[in-house]
Each structure stands twice: as C-alpha cells, then as structure tokens.
Amino acid sequence: MSLSDYITLGRSGLRVSPICLGTMTFGTEWGWGSDVPTSNRILETYLEQGGNFIDTANMYTKGHSEKIIGDFFHDQPRKRDRAVIATKFLGGMFRGDPNGGGAHRKSMMTAVEHSLRRLQTDYIDLYWMHFWDPFTPIEETMRGLDDLVSSGKVRYIGFSDTPAWKCAQAQTIAHFRGWAPLIALQIEYSLIERTVEGELVPMALEMGLGITPWSPLKGGVLSGKYSRADAGKPPAAGSRGSWVYNVLTDRNVAIIDACAAVAKEAGATIAEVALAWLARKPGVQSIIIGARTLEQLEANCRSAKVALTEAHMRRLDEVSKPTLNFPYDFVTHFVVDTTQNGAKINGRPSNPWNLAPATDAELW
C-alpha cells in the first residue's frame, strides 16, 4: 500500500489517502511545533509521495496552522484542487465571547468565514465539528452544516470526538430531513486506546462514517522512544513530563513489548507496526499522523508498506484487548451463545447453551 492507494471516505465518493497529514504541529505559537519553512517542506513531501488529505483546525496554533496551509497553496494554486483540505470549527477563538465558539449557527458561520480567509480558498473539502457541544441542539448544527454545503463553501461534513449516540442522532436527522449527511468520524484510536470499539466504531460502520483516527501512536508512547526500562522512572528535565510516564502502565508496556517483537519479525519499527495494525481495523480508512519534522513524516508514511500476518494481528489484539462498557461484552459473549446455541452464522461460531433444550423431547 502507498499514499496513492486512495479510498472513498465513508459513504461518499470523496477519494482520500490512507494516511492523512495532521497539521496541529504547524506553527510554534503553542511553544512547540514546526516553523514555517519546515511545515512547507512537510507539506511538499507529503504531496510528492501521493498524499492528498490534509487535516487542520481553526484553533490550531491560534489559527496559524490554517494560515500556513493557505499560504502554501496560494503560491501553488494548481495544487489546491488536487488536495482534500479538512478543517474544524467549535473552538472559541475570542476570549470572553460566549458566541466565539460552539456548534450553533452564529459561531459556525463566523468560523467558516475566518477559516476560508486563513486558508485562502473558496471552499473547504471536509468540515468537522471538532467536538460535541452539549449546549446546542443537534438540529441547529446539522441544518447549519447543510446550509454551508448548499452554499458551496463546504463540500462534505464530519464529526470529531462526539458520543456515538449523538452521531447516530445527527445522521438519522440528516437522512430523514434530506440534509447533507456525515461522511466521516475522527476519534482517538490506537493499540493503547481501544475503548472506541465498544460504541463508536460499530456506530460508524452502521451509519456509513469513515474512521480517521488521531493520536495513533498515543502521543508518542508507541513511537519506539519508550520501553519497559522507562516505566517508573521520573521524567527528565525538558521531557514530555509526567504525562508519558503515567501512560507507561503494566498493560501499555506489555503492548510496547509485543510491538517490538512483531517489529523484529516484520522488519519494521514499533511505530510502523502500531500504524499498520490500526490500518487493518474495521472501519479505519485514513490515519491522521502528526509530523513535527520531515524525518517523522517519512518514518510514519513507511508504515503503509508494512505487511502484518494474521498471527501478528492476533498477538497485538490479545495484548491490547480493552475493557468495554456494558452491554458490549454481554452481547458479544453471552447473547451469541444463547441465540446461536452452537450454530455458526456468518463465519462466527458459538457454544451450545447449557440451559437450552438439548433435544426436541425436552421442549414444552
């Protein structure tokens, strides 16, 4: 697989690369990230390798991320229509202004104009609701997004970091009223963060949403920089601090160990293995990778060429198995046996239920 092995996103005809370039690292306004020349080199290299899917947000580096992307394509206008540019709204950009952020019409209509200005484009290919706004009725949000699609300022819409029930509600309303539907879902998903498999992933599969995971390396924990030897150590001065070391639990260290073993067998790195595993999970269509340096971009893109065996996938699945909310495990195990009662359906086996009649003579 390569960056130019494009896939249609969700239940749409929009073609995107299997690896999406995340640009939260574009700009240094947050005290870290890439300067403008480095950001431009990363963009250029990604496009040269066949990538076409670029993800940003109005709030990233105080708007500078969008501006860097806009300046890049302004100087190379022929490349704009070949790229799929996604950005997000919802984050409050004006301190103290109650309407400066949110998923309501006033905020949304203002946000899209500022994003179009910074991106220096007439349209946004994919417009994400960045996260759930519990104060705004979902009908207002979906009608506003439909208006943006109808106006031509937005081509497609998606949700990020929103509960499964709210996504399902929004999609159902959109279909019922003939509004533009959601085509994609952006969620945190990795070998370490798999709880999304309980509700969000099945919902996306059922509702026609292509999954675009963010933080696929769990903030660098699966980058290969950390090992069992780092667990329990106090953070070094100038490091990422206690956050990374708090994530180095017994379970997560075991996941890193398994990735290292698979990487050795597959001739890959730990990061490449983690990304290759995620690429094969149901519903995952384009993985969002962040790159602060050109080397990080090239290293992450190599994961597209890593081939994991079924044995590798099973090993990684087992070591990272999550604990999911009720009723997922109940339905997965107990209900399967009680309903299938020893039968195999759609390739899924079951065990006979010991409380069910074993023969017709036992039936009342």
Which residues have a catalytic role annotated?
60
Q: Provide the phi-psi class of 158: left if phi over 0, else alpha when psi is between -120 and 50, else beta.
A: beta
Q: At residue 134, what are phi and psi to the nearest 5 degrees?
A: -70, -10
Q: In 3-state terms, what secondary structure has residue 347?
A: coil
Residue 247's H or E segment, with its range, is helix 242-247
**In this structure, what token pair is assigned to residue 37?**
């020349």
| Through-space distance between the first and last CA atoms of the chain, rounded to whole angstroms | 57
**How far is the C-alpha of 287 from the C-alpha of 88, rounded, in Å?**
17
Question: Which of 238, 237, 236, 183 lies closest to 212, judged by CA?
Answer: 183
**How far is the C-alpha of 59 from the C-alpha of 339, rounded, in Å?**
49
309 burial (CB, 10 Å; 0-12 / 13-18 / 19+) is exposed
**How far is the C-alpha of 197 from the C-alpha of 71, rounded, in Å?**
38
